[in-house]
Amino acid sequence: MQSSSLVSVLIPTYNMASTLGRALQSVAQQDYAPLEVLVIDDGSTDKTASVVNQFQTQTNLPIRYLRHSTNQGKPAALNVGVTATRGSYLAILDADDMLPKQSIASRVYYLDNNLSDDAVFGDTLYLNAAGIPYHRRAPPPSASAAELARQFLSGSVTPFHPLSLLYRKEVFGQVGMFDHRLLRAEDTDFVWRLLTRTSVSYLPKDVYCYHQETRPRLLRMKYRMQTLHGRAMMIHKQVHGLEKLPLLAKIIGLDLLKLGYECFTAKKILSVPCSGAPAENMALPVEGLTHQQTTSS
């Protein structure tokens, strides 16, 4: 399997030096080239710059380091990265997560061979503190793009992880950039626009690893309130007419329940347990792919 398409991997980060090296290492170990990595430092005060410099000097991974002098929020960092990318394809990786070895290769192979699709997403493995998979997030069987979009707008849990997507760069000209006002819901809003305006397909392979990090209770509560505010703003700008108030009431109720849940636990609310054999699935060959395309019906 060969491709000459440059892939840009964006890593927005803010005071995540302790895990950034793990994320960069997972990109360095990808079964694909050519790659470029853009680390967008959103005003960190830790050793983020030192971690990046170490990888720049000790590995062959092409890394560009972009830095805000002050913290402006993840959406602003992402928009700076999108504007600076040189690749034909674009992926986003959080600084505390990882990409399975064939994550980029499998998704590029799919888009190279399905030119009518604008983006492709896959499954996400959730890992505990020891790095052991305990959950796999995959979309509902045979879900249409409209059904997936509805779940992103008002569901209790998104049907797939937004960062499991690989995009053609032209997508951002079609659906716009990340909304800088939505500090904890910028990805949900962006994927809703993506699903309602472009052609998106599903690749049934593990393409993203989400690390479950234990954060202080007050910080989790702060993030939950920011998410609630972002989702409410998303519905306010995307939904019109009589449907708006019931949807607002629904998401406020759901997020308040999650807020209560997070007051007593460090675990994330998930839908189903991990199935299959994650360690083997992460190494599956990418030839002979099958896929389930989301439709607009």
Question: Which neighbouring-strand residues pair with 127?
Answer: 133, 211
Total residue count of the chain as it appears in this document: 297
Domain ranges of the chain: 7-214+269-284, 217-262
The secondary structure of residue 243, as a DSSP letter, is G
- Distance CA(12)–CA(173), nearest Å, equals 21
When the candidates are 3.90.550.10, 3.10.690.10, 1.25.40.20, 1.10.3720.10, the CATH number that belongs to 7-214+269-284 is 3.90.550.10
Q: Please report the pLDDT score of residue 256 as a whole number.
A: 81
Read off the pLDDT of each residue in 60-71 and give the average, rounded to a whole number: 95
pLDDT band at 64 (very low <50, low <70, confident <90, very high): very high
Q: Which residues, at least 6 apart from 140, have a Cβ–Cβ distance to it below 8 Å?
A: 147, 159
Residue 40 has pLDDT above 90, yes or no: yes
Q: What is the pLDDT of residues 156-206, one digit of tens each?
A: 889 999 999 999 999 999 999 999 998 889 999 999 999 999 999 999 999
Helices (H) and strands (E) in the chain, counts: 10, 9
Strand 119-127 and strand 166-168: the pairing is antiparallel
SS3 content of the chain, % helix, strand, coil (to 5): 40, 20, 40
Residue 244 · residue 202 · CB < 8 Å: no
pLDDT in tens, 253-266: 887 887 777 677 65
| Mean pLDDT for the stretch of residues 40-67 | 96
51 neighbors 21 (Cβ within 8 angstroms): yes
- Read off the pLDDT band of 225 (50, 70, 90): confident
The answer to whether residue 279 scores a pLDDT higher than 50 is no
pLDDT digits (tens, 9 = 90+) for 90-105: 999 999 999 999 999 9
Residue 276 has pLDDT above 50, yes or no: no
Coil, strand or helix: which one is 7? strand
Structure confidence at residue 169 (pLDDT) = 97
Provide, rounded to the nearest whole percent, the portion of the chain with pLDDT above 70: 87
The pLDDT, as a whole number, for residue 247 is 87
How many CB atoms within 10 Å of residue 113?
Answer: 12
One DSSP character per residue, 43-106 reads S--SSHHHHHHHHHHHS---EEEEE-SS---HHHHHHHHHHH---SEEEE--TT-B--TTHHHH
Using DSSP bridges, classify how beta strands 89-92 and 166-168 pair: parallel, antiparallel or unpaired.
Answer: antiparallel
Q: By three-state DSSP, how is residue 143 classified?
A: coil
- The model carries a pTM of 0.85
Biggest distance spanned by C-alpha atoms of the chain:
58
Whether 127 and 68 have beta carbons less than 8 Å apart is answered as: no
Residue 269 has pLDDT above 60, yes or no: no
